């Protein structure tokens, strides 16, 4: 609610890679910290900082990925690009949940608190690893080279001077 709109606005100025890579690394760091805390007895207050770090990180990354996908195509393909981006985000979410659930079931169960922790820690560690993998892939993101005659993101928004009376 706070970070995502700011990240979306800033990404237009500095590029998506500058926010996605550190954002996913922050998410991985937060997850890793939570894994560490779960291995050692820690009260609920100890989890606030790692959850904030992970939350800020993913809030930096998600709007930038959407912006990168939509900015990679011309205005005539925005509808198709939006559909593909939405489908891939849904697939990624389902895939991530399936991987985490599989890892949890391989190492733990819901039968006791200790069994939950035994499954929770490796599942979250794998999630942190996937975030690191995502940040490595995001290193390949680049700014779209503007083509002559292609409207930019800001030129698609009508200014008061361009609105017919």
pLDDT of amino acid 43: 87
For residue 29, the domain's CATH number is 1.20.1250.20
Instruction: Give the pLDDT mean for 156-160.
Output: 50
Does some domain include residue 101?
A: yes
Domain of residue 40: give its range: 3-144
CB atoms within 10 A of CB 1: 5
Provide φ and ψ at 25, rounded to 5°.
-70, -35
pLDDT of amino acid 164: 56
Asked which of 73-77, 78-82, 145-149 is least confident by mean pLDDT, the reply is 145-149
User: Taking the alpha carbons of 68, 73, 75, 77 in that order, is the dihedral positive or negative?
Assistant: negative
Does some domain include residue 44?
A: yes
Does some domain include residue 163?
A: no
Does the pLDDT of residue 65 top 80, yes or no? yes
pLDDT of amino acid 155: 47
Report the number of distinct structural domains present in the chain.
1
Does some domain include residue 160?
A: no
CB atoms within 10 A of CB 74: 13
- What are 120-148's pLDDT values in tens digits? 999 999 999 999 999 999 998 876 655 54
Instruction: Give the pLDDT mean for 72-91.
Output: 93
Give the length of the chain. Answer: 165
- What are 5-35's pLDDT values in tens digits? 899 888 888 889 999 999 999 999 999 999 9
pLDDT of amino acid 160: 52
Does some domain include residue 156?
A: no
CA distance 127 to 93: 11
**Higher pLDDT residue, 103 or 160?**
103
Does some domain include residue 30?
A: yes
What the block records as the tokens of 8 is 């979306």
Instruction: Report the mean per-residue pLDDT for the chain.
Output: 87
pLDDT of amino acid 146: 53
Does some domain include residue 126?
A: yes
Q: Residue 25: exposed, middle, or buried by beta-carbon count in 10 A (0-12, 13-18, 19+)?
A: buried
**Side-chain half-sphere exposure of 51, counting CA atoms within 13 A:** 6
What the block records as the tokens of 50 is 């790692």
The conformation of residue 162, written as its DSSP 8-state character, comes to G
pLDDT of amino acid 42: 75
CA distance 59 to 4: 5
Instruction: Give the pLDDT mean for 65-78.
Output: 88
Does some domain include residue 164?
A: no
């Amino acid at each position: 609610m706070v970070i995502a709109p700011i990240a979306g606005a800033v990404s237009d100025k500095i590029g998506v890679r500058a926010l996605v890579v550190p954002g996913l690394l922050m998410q991985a760091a937060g997850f890793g910290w939570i894994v560490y805390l779960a291995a050692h007895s820690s009260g609920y207050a100890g989890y606030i900082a790692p959850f904030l770090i992970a939350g800020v990180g993913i809030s930096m990354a998600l709007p930038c990925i959407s912006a990168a996908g939509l900015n990679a195509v011309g205005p005539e393909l925005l509808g198709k690009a939006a559909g593909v981006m939405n489908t891939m985000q849904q697939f990624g979410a389902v895939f991530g949940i399936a991987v985490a659930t599989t890892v949890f079931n391989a190492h733990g169960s819901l039968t006791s608190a200790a069994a939950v922790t035994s499954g929770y820690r490796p599942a979250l560690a794998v999630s942190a690893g996937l975030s690191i993998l995502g940040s490595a892939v995001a290193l390949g993101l680049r700014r779209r080279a503007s083509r002559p005659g292609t409207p930019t993101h800001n030129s698609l928004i009508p200014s008061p001077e361009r609105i017919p009376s």
